[in-house]
Structure 1
Amino acid sequence: MGFFQNMRYYFERHGYAVSSRLADRLGMKTKNVRLFFIYASFFTLGIWFFVYLTLAFWLRLKDLVYTKRTSVFDL
Protein backbone atom coordinates (compact mmCIF):
# COMPACT_ATOMS: atom_id res chain seq x y z
CA MET A 1 0.00 0.00 0.00
CA GLY A 2 2.92 2.33 0.52
CA PHE A 3 3.63 2.57 -3.22
CA PHE A 4 0.06 3.60 -4.03
CA GLN A 5 -0.02 6.12 -1.19
CA ASN A 6 3.23 7.68 -2.43
CA MET A 7 1.91 7.77 -5.98
CA ARG A 8 -1.35 9.36 -4.87
CA TYR A 9 0.51 11.92 -2.79
CA TYR A 10 2.75 12.78 -5.76
CA PHE A 11 -0.18 13.35 -8.11
CA GLU A 12 -2.10 15.35 -5.53
CA ARG A 13 0.92 17.51 -4.89
CA HIS A 14 2.01 18.08 -8.49
CA GLY A 15 -1.03 17.43 -10.64
CA TYR A 16 -4.17 18.63 -8.94
CA ALA A 17 -2.98 22.12 -8.05
CA VAL A 18 -2.53 23.24 -11.63
CA SER A 19 -4.99 26.11 -11.54
CA SER A 20 -3.81 27.44 -8.19
CA ARG A 21 -0.15 27.29 -9.21
CA LEU A 22 -0.94 28.94 -12.54
CA ALA A 23 -2.97 31.65 -10.80
CA ASP A 24 -0.13 32.31 -8.36
CA ARG A 25 2.34 32.59 -11.20
CA LEU A 26 0.10 34.97 -13.21
CA GLY A 27 -1.00 36.98 -10.18
CA MET A 28 -4.68 36.15 -10.63
CA LYS A 29 -7.41 34.62 -8.52
CA THR A 30 -7.73 30.85 -8.69
CA LYS A 31 -11.47 31.19 -9.32
CA ASN A 32 -10.85 33.13 -12.55
CA VAL A 33 -8.40 30.54 -13.86
CA ARG A 34 -10.84 27.71 -13.13
CA LEU A 35 -13.67 29.58 -14.85
CA PHE A 36 -11.44 30.10 -17.88
CA PHE A 37 -10.75 26.36 -18.12
CA ILE A 38 -14.47 25.56 -17.75
CA TYR A 39 -15.50 28.06 -20.43
CA ALA A 40 -12.68 26.92 -22.73
CA SER A 41 -13.78 23.29 -22.44
CA PHE A 42 -17.40 24.16 -23.29
CA PHE A 43 -16.26 26.36 -26.18
CA THR A 44 -14.06 23.66 -27.71
CA LEU A 45 -16.80 21.06 -27.32
CA GLY A 46 -19.20 23.42 -29.10
CA ILE A 47 -16.82 24.00 -31.99
CA TRP A 48 -16.38 20.28 -32.68
CA PHE A 49 -20.12 19.69 -32.47
CA PHE A 50 -20.63 22.42 -35.08
CA VAL A 51 -17.95 20.84 -37.32
CA TYR A 52 -19.68 17.46 -36.94
CA LEU A 53 -23.05 18.91 -37.97
CA THR A 54 -21.50 20.70 -40.94
CA LEU A 55 -19.82 17.52 -42.18
CA ALA A 56 -23.03 15.53 -41.73
CA PHE A 57 -24.96 18.12 -43.76
CA TRP A 58 -22.26 18.13 -46.42
CA LEU A 59 -22.33 14.33 -46.76
CA ARG A 60 -26.13 14.34 -46.94
CA LEU A 61 -26.02 16.99 -49.65
CA LYS A 62 -23.41 14.99 -51.57
CA ASP A 63 -25.63 11.90 -51.42
CA LEU A 64 -28.56 13.87 -52.80
CA VAL A 65 -26.55 15.33 -55.68
CA TYR A 66 -24.44 12.33 -56.66
CA THR A 67 -26.89 9.45 -56.78
CA LYS A 68 -25.75 6.26 -58.43
CA ARG A 69 -27.63 5.60 -61.61
CA THR A 70 -27.95 2.07 -62.94
CA SER A 71 -28.20 3.04 -66.62
CA VAL A 72 -28.20 5.96 -69.02
CA PHE A 73 -31.98 5.88 -69.32
CA ASP A 74 -32.48 6.82 -65.63
CA LEU A 75 -31.81 10.48 -66.41
Structure 2
Amino acid sequence: MNRLTDFIETQSFGVCSALGQRWGFSTRSVRLSFVYASFFTFGSPIVLYFAGVFWMNIRQAMRQQRSTVWDL
Protein backbone atom coordinates (compact mmCIF):
# COMPACT_ATOMS: atom_id res chain seq x y z
CA MET A 1 0.00 0.00 0.00
CA ASN A 2 2.83 2.39 0.81
CA ARG A 3 4.41 1.81 -2.61
CA LEU A 4 1.11 2.61 -4.26
CA THR A 5 0.70 5.92 -2.42
CA ASP A 6 4.32 6.87 -3.13
CA PHE A 7 3.79 6.11 -6.82
CA ILE A 8 0.62 8.20 -6.93
CA GLU A 9 2.34 11.07 -5.14
CA THR A 10 5.36 11.10 -7.44
CA GLN A 11 3.22 10.81 -10.55
CA SER A 12 0.88 13.54 -9.37
CA PHE A 13 2.03 16.90 -8.16
CA GLY A 14 4.19 16.11 -5.11
CA VAL A 15 2.78 18.81 -2.86
CA CYS A 16 2.53 16.60 0.21
CA SER A 17 6.06 15.29 -0.12
CA ALA A 18 7.43 18.80 -0.66
CA LEU A 19 5.60 20.09 2.42
CA GLY A 20 6.75 17.10 4.46
CA GLN A 21 10.38 17.63 3.50
CA ARG A 22 10.23 21.36 4.11
CA TRP A 23 8.57 21.12 7.53
CA GLY A 24 10.28 17.93 8.68
CA PHE A 25 7.16 15.74 8.79
CA SER A 26 6.62 12.43 7.08
CA THR A 27 4.83 12.57 3.77
CA ARG A 28 2.24 10.17 5.07
CA SER A 29 1.26 12.43 7.98
CA VAL A 30 0.90 15.45 5.67
CA ARG A 31 -1.16 13.40 3.24
CA LEU A 32 -3.42 12.11 6.04
CA SER A 33 -3.84 15.65 7.35
CA PHE A 34 -5.10 16.76 3.94
CA VAL A 35 -7.50 13.83 3.79
CA TYR A 36 -8.88 14.38 7.29
CA ALA A 37 -9.17 18.13 6.79
CA SER A 38 -11.01 17.50 3.52
CA PHE A 39 -13.56 15.31 5.28
CA PHE A 40 -14.13 17.75 8.12
CA THR A 41 -14.30 20.90 5.99
CA PHE A 42 -16.11 19.42 2.98
CA GLY A 43 -13.17 19.57 0.56
CA SER A 44 -11.83 23.09 1.06
CA PRO A 45 -8.19 21.91 1.56
CA ILE A 46 -8.30 20.73 -2.03
CA VAL A 47 -8.21 24.40 -3.00
CA LEU A 48 -5.08 24.81 -0.87
CA TYR A 49 -3.57 21.72 -2.48
CA PHE A 50 -4.09 23.12 -5.97
CA ALA A 51 -2.72 26.49 -4.84
CA GLY A 52 0.38 24.58 -3.71
CA VAL A 53 0.57 22.88 -7.10
CA PHE A 54 0.34 26.24 -8.83
CA TRP A 55 3.03 27.75 -6.58
CA MET A 56 5.40 24.80 -7.08
CA ASN A 57 5.00 25.01 -10.87
CA ILE A 58 5.64 28.76 -10.85
CA ARG A 59 8.78 28.31 -8.74
CA GLN A 60 10.02 25.55 -11.04
CA ALA A 61 9.42 27.69 -14.13
CA MET A 62 11.23 30.63 -12.56
CA ARG A 63 14.24 28.46 -11.78
CA GLN A 64 14.37 27.20 -15.36
CA GLN A 65 14.13 30.68 -16.87
CA ARG A 66 16.86 32.22 -14.78
CA SER A 67 20.13 32.55 -16.53
CA THR A 68 23.47 33.29 -15.02
CA VAL A 69 26.00 35.85 -16.09
CA TRP A 70 28.01 33.12 -17.78
CA ASP A 71 25.18 32.02 -20.12
CA LEU A 72 25.88 34.75 -22.70
Under a length normalisation based on structure 2, what TM-score does the superposition of the two structures give? 0.42
Give the number of the structure whose alpha-carbon radius of gyration is greater.
1
Structure with the larger RCO, 1 or 2 (CA within 8 Å, 6+ apart): 2
